[in-house]
């Protein structure tokens, strides 16, 4: 559970809860600089919380499964309004990934 204790990792997971993103989109949404973002994404990959796919020169990140999405949602709910940074929604992702995407009814 220590993987969830780092605020930057939670911001990244929260961003990915809204859909698959590339590194540039994650950096823009979270405000995390490139070196720190790469380090945190590596930790999340090693913990098997995120998955990647390559498309041309870009690497796309998504939550590994619905269990991870549920855990992130629960953490967000527990700390709602307590120093959490709201991650703005980006344009809908293009591609096959659907884990964690909040879609309107």
Is there a domain that residue 99 lies in?
Answer: no
Check whether 102 has a pLDDT greater than 60: no
pLDDT at 79: 79
Residue 38's domain spans which residues?
2-78
**For 34-71, how does the pLDDT look when each residue is reduced to its tens digit (9 = 90+)?**
999 999 999 999 999 999 999 999 999 999 999 999 99
Is there a domain that residue 25 lies in?
Answer: yes
Please state whether the predicted TM-score (pTM) of the whole model is above 0.95.
no
Distance CA 100, CA 72 (A): 10
Is there a domain that residue 102 lies in?
Answer: no
Is there a domain that residue 104 lies in?
Answer: no
Number of domains comprising the chain: 1
């Amino acid at each position: 559970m220590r993987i969830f204790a780092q605020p930057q990792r939670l911001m990244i997971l929260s961003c990915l809860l809204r859909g698959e993103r590339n590194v540039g989109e994650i950096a823009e949404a979270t405000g995390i600089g490139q070196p720190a973002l790469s380090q945190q994404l590596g930790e999340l990959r090693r913990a098997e919380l995120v998955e990647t796919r390559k498309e041309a020169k870009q690497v796309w990140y998504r939550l590994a499964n619905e269990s991870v999405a549920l855990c992130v949602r629960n953490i967000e709910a527990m700390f709602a309004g307590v120093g959490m940074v709201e991650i703005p929604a980006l344009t809908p992702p293009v591609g096959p990934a659907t884990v964690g995407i909040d879609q309107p009814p």
